Amino acid sequence: MTLLVSARKARGSFVLDAAFEAPLPGVVALFGRSGSGKTTLVNIISGLLPADAARISLNGETLTDTTTGVDVPVELRRIGYVFQDGRVFPHLSVAANLRYGEKRTRAAAFVRFDDVVALLGLGALLARRPHQLSGGERQRVALGRALLAQPRLLLLDEPMTSLDGARREEVLPYLTALRDSLAVPMVYVSHQYDEVLRLASHIVLMEGGQVLAHGPVSDVSLHPRLAGVVGLDESGAVIETTVKGLDGNGAAEVAVGNTVLRTTLRGCRVGSRVRLQVPARDVILSTRPVEGVSVRNVLAGTVVDLVDQEDGEVLVRLDLGGAPLLARITREAREALALGPGVRAWALVKTVATRGHVY
């Protein structure tokens, strides 16, 4: 399956002009700062907002094509939508809210009421009204209602925005379960990079109504413009890899190119697939092998390219024998080390500097 999107929409001085193609199933994250056009784009995909010009197709079926006049009605698109505030019906119980989703579809069921209740942990809540629920519980009900409409695509417009940290951590595992258990294709709108790293398989990076880059998470993590969106502390290479070993000190060893990286990744087993982020600001470079330091990861690689950043620093991309790594250094350091494409370099990475999730 493939989702193909090309859309243009002018709203006052703001112009959305965005296009991408993403494989499905999986989670496609529309990611960018507030005001970058994410919600406008997802509303065009849903059919709720007409575009000035657009072509939207899902698995080869055209939903919108302004050049030929195709515009499939919203109710016939089989697209579920979960809004920021959930929008559950306040006068209905949880069970009745879920049953409403069932009544809205004529499609063959791929997931049933009891399955949704079990998957989203709603069994103890069925008799309650929305005012008796926490924010996280309301979002789970909204998610279940959307699923019971049997969507072939699920749109989630910043569903965590109204939740505090604890409620976000409550909901995220359920979204992960949907991704893994039901393989429901999702378009997930967010400006929180940590959510994207945990959920997404494909990122559409947006800024000012434009698509700066799109592709697998590991590829987009290397884009020079990403740091301007997520901030310097959050930018760095994302590596999808496998746990090779565990030690008795709480560290995991993961395969990275032709070497092994030690990380404090928790809750994993040997053989687990993991997604690991190495912040570029925490990578130290040397042009000579390093010994006698407390840093446990000294990774040999080759400089691929260097990109000057607007803040006066330099983003260096290394190849670790098939795996990428980013380092952020000063221009003075680049000159002192005589770094350039093809130069051999060693990356020093603290074990505690890496962040990761079982994926």
Average pLDDT, stretch 239-251?
84
CB 241 within 8 A of CB 325: no
Share of the chain above pLDDT 70, in %: 100
Closest CA to 22 of 59, 66, 63: 59
Indicate the pLDDT class of residue 18, thresholds 50, 70 and 90: very high
* Domains, the chain: 2-220 (3.40.50.300), 236-358 (2.40.50.100)
Q: Is 104 exposed, middle or buried (0-12, 13-18, 19+ CB in 10 A)?
A: middle
**Residue 78 φ then ψ, to 5°:** 55, 50
3-state secondary structure (DSSP) of residue 46: helix
**Residue 16 φ then ψ, to 5°:** -90, 125
Q: Tokens for 219, please give them.
A: 């590829």
pLDDT at 85: 76
pLDDT in tens, 98-138: 999 888 777 777 889 999 999 899 999 999 999 999 888 89
Q: Is 121 exposed, middle or buried (0-12, 13-18, 19+ CB in 10 A)?
A: middle
The average confidence (pLDDT) of the chain is: 90
* pLDDT beyond 80 at 164: no
Work out the angle between the directed axes of helices 135-147 and 165-177 (0-180°, nearest 10).
20
pLDDT in tens, 250-278: 788 898 988 899 998 877 888 888 899 99
Q: Which comes out higher in pLDDT, residue 332 or 312?
A: 332
Average pLDDT, stretch 201-216?
96
Closest CA to 185 of 286, 77, 293: 77
pLDDT at 159: 87
The region, left, alpha or beta by phi > 0 then psi within -120 to 50, assigned to residue 197 is: alpha
Average pLDDT, stretch 291-301?
89
Give the chain's length: 359
Indicate the pLDDT class of residue 20, thresholds 50, 70 and 90: very high
pLDDT in tens, 328-342: 999 999 999 999 999
**Bridging pattern class, strands 27-31 and 186-190:** parallel
Indicate the pLDDT class of residue 84, thresholds 50, 70 and 90: confident
Q: Tokens for 243, please give them.
A: 């746990």
